[in-house]
Amino acid sequence: MDTENKNNVFKILVGVLSLLLIVLAVYTIKLYNDSKDTAIILQEQKADIEFELEELIDNYNQVIEDNDIKNKDLLDARERIVVLLDSVKDAETNVSLLRRYKGEIRRLKSERVLLLKKADSIIASNKLLAAERDNTYLILNETNKKMDAVSEENRAMAEKLRKASIVSVVDLTPSAVVIRKNGKIIDTKRANRAKKIRACFTLAPNAVAEAGDRMLYVQVINPNNNLLGKKAELVFENGILNYSAASRVYYENEELDVCSIVNAKEEDIIKGRYTINVFDGPNLVATSTMELK
Instruction: Give the pLDDT confidence of 51-97 residue by residue, as tens digits.
Output: 777 877 777 777 767 655 566 767 777 787 787 777 767 666 665 66
Task: Quote the pLDDT of residue 203.
Answer: 86
pLDDT at 291 over 90: yes
Q: How many CB atoms lie within 10 A of CB 17?
A: 10
CATH class for the domain made up of 168-292:
mainly beta
Bigger pLDDT: 165 or 103? 103
The length of the chain is: 293
pLDDT at 279 over 80: yes
Task: Quote the pLDDT of residue 121.
Answer: 64
d(CA 230, CA 128): 35
* Domain ranges, ordered by start, for the chain: 2-119, 125-162, 168-292
d(CA 162, CA 209): 9
Task: Quote the pLDDT of residue 145.
Answer: 67
Cβ(278)–Cβ(241) below 8 Å: no
d(CA 122, CA 204): 7
In the predicted model, what is the mean pLDDT of residues 98-106?
Answer: 69
In the predicted model, what is the mean pLDDT of residues 193-212?
Answer: 85
CB under 8 Å to 115, separation ≥6 — which residues?
71, 73, 74, 77
In this structure, the strands spanning 169-179 and 185-188 are antiparallel
Cβ(213)–Cβ(249) below 8 Å: yes
